[in-house]
Structure formats: structure tokens, C-alpha cells
Amino acid sequence: MKIARWPRPATMLAGAAVLVAGLTACGGSSGAGTSGGGLPQTIKIMSIKEMTGAVAFAGTNATKGIDLAVDEMNQQKFLGESKLEIDLKDSAASPQEAASFATQALSDKDYSAILGPAASAQAAAVSPIAQKAKMPVIYTQAGSNGVLAGDYTYRVTAPASSYFQLAGEYLRGKGVKTAAVLYNSGNPTLAELGQQTAPQLGQKYGFTITSSDGVQTNAQDFTANGSKIAAANPGAVFVLLNGPQNPTAIMQLRQNGYRGEIVGMTSMGAGNLAPAGQAAAGAVWPSDFSALAENEGAKKFVEAYKAKYNGETPNNYAAEAYDAAWFLARGIKEAGSADRSKIQQGLAKVAAAGFEGAEGKLTFEGNDLRVQGVLAGWDGTKEILVQGTRS
């Protein structure tokens, strides 16, 4: 697949706003060159993903999930003789570039919808533009406020806080009475989990938060934090950090003598704890997806993913994007049209009904996904399923 990336100055955001005003004044575009009902032979979708840069791990894995979904729906003729065509754009780490690509899609009537970027800053730059021009956008990740800007914006990654009770249940089962929190204060999702969700879990599941420390996004040395936490010896530590930070923080906790429970979030998955090896054994984290999950949707997805990608095991980024692509296809089928406004109406109907996906049973609160979730863990050498459910 060809990846497009254009250099964009910051002034493109202002230009995007002007263009959207013009589009809105003209009533918008019907999408894919249609002006009424019926599906065209090709339905063109722009996928704006971070294929390079700091969060490329999210964009590249998401793209694999999307490509698998599109292969399946086209082979199954899910949309009859119509096929989805994905136009992949690399937004790297730039909100301006993401907004510029979105503006390109808005101005071109051949695009019917957008699969949006994962980074919250990029998504927040795209959403107001797309909402005003009435272009359906479906995101994965992008967990901060401001991403869901209206009825044309959807998110197919459940907020971590909505299934984080799995961690509370686990700690109660272990008899934990005290816990410390170490969180990345520069990441909105991690900050929310550290500042709000963990204390709320404590109140509900019977443990007290004894300390809470925020660290910078780029922090790599947690020696002081680890020493303080180990000295207090709480029953558990919530380690809520970016992927590469997790193994370093865990190793430094263990080196300072801490032997209690460690709870994280999905950033501990996808092999991110491998550098810590046995030091991270026993760490657990709630997740919206595990390749070891027992629901039928996950099993089918994992089998198909491994077949397409030479035995590679999918992670949550791939599963979320796979479900997002299928959500869009179901919305288009419900609409019976490539018209943007009709697709939005179709998506609303699909969201109201829910469906089975790689992440299990998918339901929505408004335009935001909810899943039951699983509790994953690390046994010292590989990821394991600590608690899963059948659909």
C-alpha cells in the first residue's frame, strides 16, 4: 500500500478552517461521487495513521487490522459488488498534517469517510473540521476529551476507565489494602487513570492509595520513585506509563526490593515487558483485547490475522482498527449509500444495536465504545490471560 505524507506548515490549520467554511456553505459533499441512494463500485475511505514517528507502533498495527478487515469484507462481498478502497496517509506525529489530510478528504467528493489517527492531539485537530463539514470519522485510541465532537465522530476504543474495574476485582481477590500510583502525567488517559480511576477503585474495592507520583512523558529514570514506593511497601503499585517506560520502572521497583502486586494498562502488552523479563513476572493489566481471549470474535480474528501476517500475533491496536473498519462497513451497508450523511445515520443504527467483534461484544454509549475487557498478565517470558470471558 502506498503511503502518502506531505510536509505541512502550521498555517494549514487556518487554511483548513477556511475550506471547511466553504464546504459547509455549499452543503457539503455526498461522498464517492453519489448524490442519492445506491452503492458505487468503489467506496473510497481515507485512513490517517501515524506510520512514522513516536507512535508509529499504533499506526502500523492499526493498518494491519484495517487491511485484514477490508480483505475479508471484499472477499465475502459484504457490500455486494461494491468494495472499500483505503487511501493511507501518514500523519507521523503532526496534528497539522492530520488536519491537512482530513481537509483534503473533505474537499474531495470521492471520499465517503475517514478512519482517523490514534494520537489524541491529531484526532482533536481533525474532529472539529470533520464534524462541521459532516464527514464521518472513526477513531481508535485517541482517548482525550474533545475527540468526540458530535454525531459524525466515533471512537472504537473503549475508555480504559470503563473496564478498569477488572484491576480492582483482582486486587481485592489478592487481599490488597494499600496501593501506590506511578503515572505518566503528560498522557491524558494515563493521568486520568492515575488521578481519578485508581482512587475510585480503592474506595470500591477496599484499598487505600498511600502515594501518587506523576512523571514526565519522556522520563526514563524512576529510581527515586521506586525507592520511595519500595520503602513504603504497599500491597500493590499501579504503574501507568507509556510502553517503553514500563519495563524500566518495574525493574527499578524490583531492584529497590519491592515484591508486591503490579498493575498496569494496555501499554504493558504487545511484548513491551519483554526487556524486564522475570522482573515483571506477575504484572497484570486490564485490556480491551487479548489474543488469548475466549470469545468467538477474538478467536476468528486471531486465526485470520496469523494466516495473513505469517503467524504474527495481533495486539490491541490491530484488533481495535479491525473492529473500526467493520463498524464502518456495517454503517455503509445499513445506509445502502456512500453518501456521508447517510453513512452517519447507518453508523448510528449499528452503534445502537452493537455487534460482535475482535474485542468481544461491542456496545456504545453515544458514539463511544464499551467492551467487557479482559485481564492480561506477564509470566516472565510471555503474555498470558489472567481473566477472560466468553461471548
**Domains of the chain as residue ranges with CATH:** 12-158+298-370 (3.40.50.2300), 161-287 (3.40.50.2300)
Residue 338 has pLDDT above 60, yes or no: yes
Supply the pLDDT for residue 3: 53
57-71 pLDDT, tens digit per residue, is: 889 999 999 999 999
Residue 181 has pLDDT above 60, yes or no: yes
Supply the pLDDT for residue 29: 44
120-154 pLDDT, tens digit per residue, is: 899 999 999 999 999 999 999 998 888 999 999 99
80-115 pLDDT, tens digit per residue, is: 999 999 999 999 989 999 999 999 999 999 999 999
Residue 365 has pLDDT above 80, yes or no: yes
For CA atoms 288, 293, 297, 302, the dihedral sign is: positive
Percentage of residues of the chain with pLDDT beyond 70: 90
CA distances from 70 to 99, 157, 339, 374 (A): 24, 19, 19, 26
Sheet holding 137-139, edge to edge: 83-90, 42-49, 111-115, 137-139, 153-155, 368-370, 360-365, 355-357
Residue 283 has pLDDT above 80, yes or no: yes
Task: Pull the grid cell for residue 229.
Answer: 514506593
Residue 31 has pLDDT above 60, yes or no: no
**In 64-207, which ranges are E strands?**
83-90, 111-115, 137-139, 153-155, 178-184
